[in-house]
Structure 1
Amino acid sequence: MIVETGTGLLVGVGLAAAGTALVIGGAPVIAVTAGVVVTGAVVTAAAGWAYETFVPQATREKIDEGIRDTWNGAKDKIGDAWDAVF
């Protein structure tokens, strides 16, 4: 899930920059916006499919475990800092 979301964000940022250039060039804003949304959704779906298809289940589980451990560690550190201040 994290991989697909990250891919979608990167695609969206790139398409937003391209869309800005098109709007400045005279293309209708609604067409550019629709293109950004549709293209971002398609690329994100394709990235999710590729990740699920080509990355083995055991590897995906290790990636997920690492993401959870990082999140929990960061959350603990932030909580400790908050408690130290307040």
Structure 2
Amino acid sequence: MKKLVTKRNLLILSVMITVITAMIPNLGMKVIGEYHHYGCPAEVLSYASNWRIGFSLWNFLFNIVFYYFTLRILMIIIKGFIPKSPH
């Protein structure tokens, strides 16, 4: 049960990180001509100067999976450094 809660929390956290990184202006912004692409590592949102806004579902899912596994690997590394209690 604890693993399920941890997986759910990691998934929620990875969705939050994906949305936040797409909203931070200089973090994951790429400008190509009049198009502005937002998101890191993959561009999730795109905006053109004539008020066209685009959303890429595949890049959004890729970012969620990327952040999920990155957070999971970080948890494994951090658990390796924390000493276990003798009880």
TM range (shorter): 0.3 to 0.5
Between 1 and 2, higher relative CO (CA 8 Å, sep ≥ 6) is seen in: 1
Q: Which of the pair is proportionally richer in strand?
A: 2
